[in-house]
Chain A
């Protein structure tokens, strides 16, 4: 079933979102290149929850927002969105770049969350690791870095090579670079702040992630967020929700239900 497409305005910033399902609200924050996609992972979650998938400003159908200069601006943007929609505490899920935004948000206002799920997040400086510089890679190199199974990348393949499509990709790259070019893919202040997260947290990690490898990145996150549970997906690279959608959705749904049961 196709999700509903909505255009809303959050404190003056237009946002395009996809929504489906009923139940406790789930807010899913996509990674770079994942805007506007409703894939088997979201579909599976929408069977149990009211899933909302906004496109970040400058990504997918959401226009670029000049005021966004820092990753914390995006976190505040999503706090504004929770206010705007008057949502009760949500299950917040973020993948990769979206996981970074979700983690920033959780350090600010974890009382707005029922639970936090981070799928191969970036966003912290990890000793001994420098994230491979995707901006300097051509498409085959990016695919080889992000995906364990290159075929899974087809789900994110652009529909064509039209001027519109290329302009959208450029706009998305620029929106990402505005907040992530340097320092690249991390906020130097975030790691220490992760200790503030009091929400139940699940870390999903692809065993073959080459962008933010389980060791040392996943281990660093698991050590930095109090009580976080780390679940490793053996058949995945950086994007397990695309590479093993059924398995990841099952683990995440169980985790969210358990969080609700525990109050």
Chain B
């Protein structure tokens, strides 16, 4: 199993505002505190490489305290120069949110070249609230995503200059300098929330699929659909196409881990993902089929998720090293997921570093039967027959 350290870079705070997204007044952000946090978080990611994590993950979110990386490529750039071995996974850039997505092709290529080919490029639509903070029309989200992805992949692989004439994006000259180092292009991952359309799209292109903060039963169901789609497209999904993203808390005892999880992990759901209800559901962001699926068995609002429910349904992994090993075994054996992507929060910077060390020493070594495998070999690039 491969381990990727996933950072949200939250601005952890308690507040009484109705929404942690879009409208949370930015006077509540203290830049001096932000400076401390950014540097601690980057230290944690660099430390993760030292401890043996295989990849370091950053991601894009806007106007919120849940994750303060409006530009994940900026954070990735800082990591490129301070690390030397780990993969740097940008999970991902919100393609439809850009007016000029060619800029993503350029920035990822810059990072890939400078890092010596260590970049993984996540393609995402951006979550619902981001259509309120960017002004992009949510009814265009899916079509802009497909078109921008097509543009970026062609910019990386098709000799330039060439013209691109899309519905949303038009260029007379597509000819990015630099080109990416990895060939035919950096691996593309699809972090998603499980819409059947995205599952199909990713499976068809052999792009790894990643579910974020989802109960384990739903992950199992969506992975089944993804594997089935891969079979329909004539191949068997590699375990490295399936990544589980789950918060992990490890401590010397189960009781200590539970206390940390109750406080610090539940903050992510209860406060970090507290949202004014309309921000969850901008018009046309989902297909009507996806909407009906949600309406038929509505998931709990993260802000109303209790620790007990999160525990029962497998939103989180916590415990002593032995307990965490058992829980991760389920991902490895039953879900056949090849990559675990997780962040940690011990409550303070020092406690987080200690937790990371405990995990690296007492959990990670038990899952290293694939230590010699390159999880990105042949992954995240379309089969030659499909390339354009």
Contact = CB atoms under 8 A, between A and B. Distances in A.
Contacts of B276: 136, 138
Given A136-B276, A181-B138, A163 B282 contact: no
A135 B295 contact: no
A170 interface: yes
Nearest to A182: B135
Contacts of A163: 292, 295-296
Interface stretch (B101-109, B194-202, B283-291, B321-329): B283-291
A134 to B, nearest CB: 9
A205 B164 CA distance: 47
Given A167-B291, A167-B292, A178-B139, A136 B132 contact: yes
Interface in B126-169: 132, 135-139
B170 to A, nearest CB: 15
A138 B291 CA distance: 18
B137 A167 contact: no
Contact of A137 (B135, B278, B283, B292): B278
B85 interface: no
A167 B288 CA distance: 7
A182 B136 contact: yes
Contacts of A178: 137, 139, 284
Contact of B278 (A138, A166, A171, A182): A138
A176 B295 contact: no
A174 B284 contact: yes
Nearest to A176: B283
Interface residues of B, number: 21
B378 interface: no
Interface in A164-192: 166-167, 170-171, 173-174, 176-178, 181-182
B137 A182 contact: yes
B279 interface: yes
A177 B138 contact: yes
Nearest to A163: B295
B137 to A, nearest CB: 4
A181 B141 CA distance: 12
A192 to B, nearest CB: 23
A136 B279 contact: yes
B281 interface: yes
A182 B141 CA distance: 13
Contacts of B291: 166-167, 170
A85 B367 CA distance: 72
Contacts, number: 50
B295 A181 contact: no
B365 interface: no
Contact of B139 (A138, A167, A174): A174
Interface string B13-27: 000000000100000
B277 interface: yes
B278 A177 contact: no
A181 B139 contact: yes
Nearest to B277: A138
B137 A181 contact: yes
A263 B132 CA distance: 49
A167 B283 contact: no
Nearest to A162: B295
A170 B277 CA distance: 14
Interface of A: 135-138, 163, 166-167, 170-171, 173-174, 176-178, 181-182
Interface of B: 22, 132, 135-139, 276-279, 281-284, 286, 288, 291-292, 295-296
7 contacts: A135-B282, A136-B276, A138-B276, A167-B292, A174-B283, A174-B284, A177-B283
Top 6 closest pairs, chain A to chain B, by CB: A174-B284, A173-B283, A177-B283, A181-B137, A174-B283, A178-B139
Given A135-B282, A136-B276, A181-B138, 14 more contacts: A135-B132, A135-B278, A163-B296, A170-B283, A170-B288, A170-B291, A173-B283, A174-B283, A177-B138, A177-B139, A178-B139, A178-B284, A181-B139, A181-B283
